[in-house]
Amino acid sequence: MKPFKTVIFLGDGMADEPLAELGNRTPLQAAHTPNMDLIAAKGRSGTFLTLPDGFPTSSDVANMSVLGGNLSTELCGRGPLEAASQGIELASNQIAFRMNLVSVDDQGILRDFSGGHISQRDADESIALLNQQLGSKKVRFASGISYRTLLILTGSKFSVEIECDKPDDNQGNPVCEHLPRPGGKASELTATLLGEIIQKASCILKGRAANAIWPWSGGKAGSIHSVSERYHITAAVISAVDVIKGLGLCMGLEVIHVPGATGYIDTNYEGKALAALDALDNYDFVYLHVEAPDEVSHAQDLKLKLQAIEDFDKRIVGPVMQGAGCGVAFCVLPDHPVPISIGRHTRTPVPVALWKPGCEPDALLTFDEKSALTGSLGVMKGSDLMDLLLR
């Protein structure tokens, strides 16, 4: 017997910590979210550990966790996932790094990990310049969505054993203190080349708003289990960003592209909601990801975070729930917290609420970090959530 058709609403970075300016409430508690609250009231709640110790605090880790991946054996880095999203097939001797186009001041301090949310046109121009002046058989750059680009190294002597810091963890810090570092003798050549590329790129991009590059999370193409095969379902993913689309592809989800999906506060919410409703006609499982709350949380913009959460509830969750009809299960959660106070990902388990037809509700009435702690689902990890929804 097949499970109910299921939608996961993934609000990237929605979870937070209590803030004095909100009367010691979190943004999720303070925002008007009647649709997410309805899922909690009709269903069951709990928490999910998406960023366990020993793994990077990045979105590829968190979303692979939500989708039930085995982090110990399947995690390959953001680079290969984003390459997959772009249709770039990596050879066995190629390493793909996620590369941010960033803004660095005259003192060498990282000021904006997104290059001021660089426009697509400016990002494409920057990548073209880098390929023109630095591209070779060994080095290639590829555009993505806005500041989210790729650096691909080709050669059997290059190593993935490179220690790279996350750019969104280091705004306000000197770039020179966070350059890629070798993880051992075999990776010294790779670290040296990355350092040279970073230095030369800053000269090539001088005078632009995004005037530097920050490569990180490199890896090779790996083997990841198929969600579709594990649960004997058809599945689709809707997202604006390559890391989620690439992860979906690698896990057997069909990518549904939505025009105007930007990965920011101006994304095409209505287009995503309509795409999800259309997808339910053809797929058993839809993973609907919205990046906006994460981006504004990194910018530590509380006003925009509240707006992003309310837009997610009103323009995504509500229309999909109302349009899906009977016999559809709904689940809502963030992939990780991004507290406004620090603007970085944390490992705190995130709130989860799910409702399936015939589900016996627990006593909770709202969807937020505090309420979820007392939910009947308890603390989930690994494949717990996917098993609960789809087995």
CA angle 296, 217, 65 (to 5 degrees): 70
What pLDDT, in 10s, does the model give residues 308-360? 999 999 999 999 999 998 899 999 999 999 999 999 999 999 999 999 998 89
- Give me the mean pLDDT over the 77-82 stretch: 95
- Give me the mean pLDDT over the 369-373 stretch: 98
Which residues 6+ apart lie within 8 Å of 185 measured at CB? none
Q: Are 288 and 335 in contact (CB under 8 A)?
A: no
Residue 199 to residue 194: CA distance in whole angstroms: 9
Q: Is 174 helix (H, G, I), strand (E, B) or coil?
A: strand
Going by C-alpha positions, the residue among 12, 52, 57, 341 that lies closest to residue 216 is 57
Q: Is 87 helix (H, G, I), strand (E, B) or coil?
A: coil
What is the phi/psi pair of residue 255, to 5°? -85, 125
What is the phi/psi pair of residue 51, to 5°? -125, 75
CA angle 240, 49, 255 (to 5 degrees): 25
**Homologous superfamily of 5-76+224-390:** Alkaline Phosphatase, subunit A (3.40.720.10)
The pTM of this model reads: 0.89
The residues spanned by each domain of the chain are: 5-76+224-390, 81-219
Give me 155's structure tokens. Answer: 């050669």
- Give me the mean pLDDT over the 90-105 stretch: 97
Going by C-alpha positions, the residue among 281, 243, 278, 274 that lies closest to residue 259 is 274
Which pLDDT score is estimated for 334?
Answer: 98
Tell me what the pLDDT averaged over the chain comes to: 96
Give me 36's structure tokens. Answer: 């997410």
Q: How far is CA 52 from CA 48, 248, 361, in A?
A: 10, 21, 28
Which pLDDT score is estimated for 1?
Answer: 57
Residue 239 to residue 10: CA distance in whole angstroms: 10
What pLDDT, in 10s, does the model give residues 17-55? 999 999 999 999 999 999 999 999 999 999 999 999 999
- Give me the mean pLDDT over the 178-185 stretch: 96
Which residues 6+ apart lie within 8 Å of 136 measured at CB? none
Which residues 6+ apart lie within 8 Å of 56 measured at CB? 166, 217
- Residue 2: band (very low, low, confident or very high) from pLDDT cuts 50, 70, 90: low
- Buried/exposed code over 327-359 (b: 16+ C-beta within 10 A; e: otherwise): ebbbbbbbbbbbbbeebbbeebbbbbbbbbeee
Which residues 6+ apart lie within 8 Å of 376 measured at CB? 44, 45, 46, 362
Residue 123 to residue 92: CA distance in whole angstroms: 28
Residue 210 to residue 267: CA distance in whole angstroms: 21
Which residues 6+ apart lie within 8 Å of 275 measured at CB? 238, 256, 258
- Residue 223: band (very low, low, confident or very high) from pLDDT cuts 50, 70, 90: confident
